[in-house]
Structure 1
């Protein structure tokens, strides 16, 4: 399998899950501006949408979308518990969190990375994020991870998105449980490995 990534982008989430599951994944770095890989290949020929993550399976099949890739990779090693079994309520809870992170947090951070975003839009998104993060913070009360004591694919995605806060000047200090969560996840060996492999540690 080949995972196309940009350092620190949402592709970090499937990268972490692959490491947690002990999967052998070839990492291919993509330049966000030129859309070229380190080998000077045209990334758009792999994913015409031009964004990461993109996962190419051994048979050449292409998969995209961080929330889907973390599930697919976790399911390759079901014994890890990164994704609970199909039919179990716990699986739907993890999927619920993945959808929440994707639609309520990931998308809301996007405008902060675009230089032409009006200040009014940033303010609206900041208010939205504060409201949603207050919800996450409350749900993390007394828990190490979103599902309790067990690390899941949703935690990898949440942690990745929360990491963007410091790059856009978003203040997470009001959220004590989120700050604790960030530290807990950061200490995991598979996470540290992913950061080293992306040149972020």
Structure 2
């Protein structure tokens, strides 16, 4: 497998998940503005959508979109997403919430033409989403029950954006959760490979 990523982008979640699963894989950095891979390939020939993540599979097919890639990796490795039961659905529910209600609201912080008003509106929404997740986390180490899941991989990335890009103060439990996850070996290794702090 090969993960196409941009440093610190949402593909970091997939990078973390790949390390967590213990699967063998390669990575290739993508310049999202130029739409070129580090080896010089036209990234739009790999993923016509032009954004990461993109996961090249052994049979030559390419899988895109975070929820699909994360679920595929978890099912393939038999970890990070339970086979069945309510915990499986809670992990998928939380992963979808991170994708649709948290990730999308960072758009103004990555858009060069976004004004302060749009950023302030996004901050207000994100504050509410993080307050909900803070309550949902409670006193657990992970966002869904007591084991690392794909939801944690994805949530970590958005919390990093909150701190590093949007300068949002996280609620106390969520902030402590972020600090704990940042010390996890898979996360440290993924960030080191991508050259981000």
Name structure 1 gaps, 5 residues minimum: none
* Equivalent position of 2:185 in the other structure: 189
Name structure 2 gaps, 5 residues minimum: none
Residue pair 2:109, 2:166 contacting (<8 A) in 1 also: no
State the Cα distance separating 1:24 from its structure 2 match.
Answer: 0.8
TM-score (norm 1): 0.94
* Equivalent position of 1:75 in the other structure: 75
Distance 1:167 1:158 in 2: 14
State the Cα distance separating 1:110 from its structure 2 match.
Answer: 1.3
* Equivalent position of 1:161 in the other structure: 158
| Deviant stretches of 4+, over 4 Å | none
Count matched residues.
Answer: 197
* Equivalent position of 1:43 in the other structure: 43
Task: Report whether the alignment pairs 1:101 with 2:95.
Answer: no
* Equivalent position of 2:195 in the other structure: 199
State the Cα distance separating 1:120 from its structure 2 match.
Answer: 2.2
User: 2:83 is paired with a residue of what secondary structure?
Assistant: coil
Distance 1:154 1:179 in 2: 16
- Identify which of 79, 82, 85 aligns with 2:83: 85
* Equivalent position of 1:53 in the other structure: 53
- Identify which of 142, 146, 150 aligns with 1:145: 142
TM-score (norm 2): 0.96
State the Cα distance separating 1:169 from its structure 2 match.
Answer: 3.4
Residue pair 1:67, 1:157 contacting (<8 A) in 2 also: no
Distance 2:180 2:70 in 1: 19
Distance 2:167 2:97 in 1: 19
State the Cα distance separating 1:96 from its structure 2 match.
Answer: 0.2
Distance 2:162 2:148 in 1: 22
Superposition RMSD in Å:
1.2
State the Cα distance separating 1:166 from its structure 2 match.
Answer: 2.7
